[in-house]
DNA sequence: GCAAGCATGTAAAAGGTTACATGATTCA
DNA sequence: TGAATCATGTAACCTTTTACATGCTTGC
């Protein structure tokens, strides 16, 4: 029972906004929740089947041959609330960037700087993405009851990106400017 | 071949700082890398066996009967550098808090506020932990060649915690003060 | 003598990704 | 007509956690 309640949460949540095909659901999860969630086909299809058997979603004929549009049922909404109320199951942390930086003495200062610069660039791009998303969606959806909650998740991305940029800049300064003196003398004796 | 290069990285990295038993290695990973990495016994023991077969670590008699201290070999150091240089394999994001907040209309505003308050509290506790760790370790290890890199990882935690606190405060304000008006009338019809 | 913690390992199960196989539809 | 995209589903594989089984050592 309960094939990955985490996936069920995302699937039921998606369908709670709008009925769609499994394919569209995966695209919606990738495009809309992509900054903090992901699901693959291999999870979505079996989960939809389970949810259908349990009566939490209903399958209707889709716009094409052999395609199905899924919609959430009353019991599905109840199940969604139940899942959303469950305690958050935290994934054990696995940050490949920090692991590499931690062993920076072995990896080498220059390569660490490279990693930090790449992280900074990525964070900057993400930040710009979040900001334009916020502007765009607030115009489009600013009046819907979902908007305040959606905006909270976008602002999480904004805060996180800004923190990453500030941290990377600070760290690049701490690891020394390579220009002129690739391995600077220890500043403090 | 290459049983989880990620685990190998953490294991070889740990042993590159100091030879130890598998048990101690797990404790070190939990206590020192715990803020951004984790490994379980079920990963560490088989990985050490593989690394031993490949000649990347050497097993010595430990301080107790039936216990082994592992130390990294020359080829192990080379392998570690190779692993650290590999592109970072990003785990697909799965943030249970943001998922719940995204579906906040269904979950309910009050429960969302509760989640945000809990997140804020946790971040505050983490922040204090990072700050005292920084003070403590900078006195202890401030002169070692590893310290600048270790500090980078601690400062990542500090920046991230501060961002979480600021975001949670902002979001709590945005989701409305519950005092006086638990479920404010819909502002827009 | 016994409890807590050190120490080693294995097996089963969960959770998830990737690749594959298949076919319909749209559009250039 | 052929490529891109929509669409469904399965199977194999990988990683990782959890639980279990076992025994030594230290300190009270």
Indicate if CB(B67) is under 7 A from strand C: yes
Separation in Å: D3 C1' and A65 CA: 21
CB-based burial of residue B97 (10 Å sphere; 0-12 exposed, 13-18 middle, 19+ buried)? buried
- Residue A189 pLDDT grade (very low, low, confident, very high; cuts 50, 70, 90): very low
- Residue B180 pLDDT grade (very low, low, confident, very high; cuts 50, 70, 90): very low
3-class DSSP assignment, residue A20:
strand
Separation in Å: D7 C1' and B174 CA: 40
- From residue A35, alpha-carbon distances to A153, A181, B115, B120, B189 in Å are 9, 39, 19, 20, 31
Indicate if CB(B4) is under 7 A from strand C: no
A92, B175: Cβ pair inside 8 Å? no
Which nucleotide is nearest, taking the CA of residue B43 and each C1'? D16
For B89-150, give the secondary structure using H, E and C: CCCCCCCHHHHHHHCHHHHCHHHHHHHHHHHHHHHHHHHHHHHHHHHHHHHHHCCCCCHHHH
**Measured distance CA(A129)–CA(A84) in Å, rounded:** 27
Task: Please report which helix (H) or strand (E) contains residue B70, including its range.
Answer: strand B68-72
Render pLDDT for A1-53 as a digit per residue (tens, 0 to 9): 456 689 999 999 999 999 999 999 999 999 999 999 999 999 999 999 999 99
Please report residues of A whose CB lies closer than 8 A to that of B93.
34-38
Q: Which of A38, A104, A106 sits opposite B92 (nearest CB)?
A: A38
**Measured distance CA(A81)–CA(B41) in Å, rounded:** 36
Q: Which of B6, B127, B159 to mutate to test the interface with A (most CBs of A within 10 A)?
A: B159
- Residue B2 pLDDT grade (very low, low, confident, very high; cuts 50, 70, 90): low
**Measured distance CA(B57)–CA(B74) in Å, rounded:** 9
Q: Find the length of chain B.
A: 189
Render pLDDT for A72-104 as a digit per residue (tens, 0 to 9): 999 999 999 999 999 999 899 999 999 999 999
pLDDT (average), residues A165-169 = 98
The reported pLDDT for the residue numbered A149 is 97
Indicate if CB(B102) is under 7 A from strand C: no
DSSP B19: -
Q: Whose CA is closest to A10, among A45, A38, A46, A35?
A: A38
Q: Is A94 on the interface with B (CB under 8 A)?
A: yes
The tokens of A73 are what? Answer: 């049922």
Q: Is B78 on the interface with A (CB under 8 A)?
A: no
**B98 close to A156: Cβ distance less than 8 angstroms:** yes
Indicate if CB(A64) is under 7 A from strand D: yes
Q: Is A154 on the interface with B (CB under 8 A)?
A: no
3-class DSSP assignment, residue B40:
coil
Render pLDDT for B149-164 as a digit per residue (tens, 0 to 9): 999 999 999 999 999 9
Task: Please report which helix (H) or strand (E) contains residue A71, including its range.
Answer: strand A68-72
């Amino acid at each position: 029972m309960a094939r990955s309640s985490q996936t069920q949460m995302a699937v039921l949540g998606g369908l709670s906004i709008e009925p769609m095909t499994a394919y569209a659901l995966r695209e919606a999860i990738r495009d809309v929740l992509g900054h903090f969630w992901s699901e693959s086909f291999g999870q979505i299809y079996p989960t939809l089947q389970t949810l259908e058997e349990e009566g939490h979603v209903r399958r209707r004929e889709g716009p094409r041959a052999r395609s199905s549009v899924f919609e959430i049922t009353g019991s599905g909404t109840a199940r969604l609330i139940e899942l959303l109320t469950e305690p958050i199951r935290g994934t054990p942390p696995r940050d490949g960037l920090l692991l590499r930086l931690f062993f920076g003495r072995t990896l080498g200062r220059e390569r660490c700087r490279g990693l930090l610069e790449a992280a900074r660039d990525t964070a900057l791009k993400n930040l710009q993405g979040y900001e334009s998303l916020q502007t765009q969606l607030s115009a489009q959806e600013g009046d819907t009851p979902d908007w305040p909650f959606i905006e909270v998740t976008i602002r999480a991305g904004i805060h996180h990106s800004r923190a990453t940029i500030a941290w990377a800049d600070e760290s690049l300064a701490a690891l020394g400017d390579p220009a002129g003196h690739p391995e600077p003398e220890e500043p403090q004796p």
